[in-house]
Amino acid sequence: MLVSYPALFYYDSSEKVPFFITFPDFKNSATQGENVTDALAMATDWLGINVADCLENGHKLPIPSAEVAVSLKQNNPYPDDLRYDSKRSFKSLILVDLDAYLNRNTQV
């Protein structure tokens, strides 16, 4: 089963791990990445783990926002604290195959 949700990638060169990633459709979502490739992988893993957890525990998934409906500025989870480089920050849809995450026998 494939699912996709928009993610926001905030870049701040002053941080040791410069990418901070959030999913506007999920409350209190956050992960980080050392570079673009790592950030995309971490976002995919965050989404897979959390959507699988929601489904396995009988929770309703949020309806995914359209990518054009989210913005780095308007959906900034910490507008007073999160500084970011608008030229290196971006938004992207993250696609995950939940078959890799559902019904795992090992704890994460």
Q: Which amino acid is at 70?
A: V
Q: Report the C-alpha gap between 15 and 44 in whole angstroms.
A: 21
Query: Residue 30: pLDDT band by 50, 70, 90 thresholds?
Result: very high
In this structure, the dihedral spanned by the alpha carbons of residues 32, 104, 57 and 64, taken in order and rounded to 10 degrees, is 50
Q: Which amino acid is at 65?
A: S
Domain 2-100 sits in CATH at 3.30.160.250
State the pTM of this model: 0.92
Q: Report the C-alpha gap between 78 and 24 in whole angstroms.
A: 12
Q: What's the angle, vertex CA 28, arms to CA 25 and CA 34, rounded to 5?
A: 95
CA 46 to chain centre: 6
Does the pLDDT at position 71 exceed 60?
yes
Q: Which amino acid is at 29?
A: S
Does the pLDDT at position 106 exceed 80?
no
Instruction: Over range 19-36, report the average pLDDT.
Output: 97
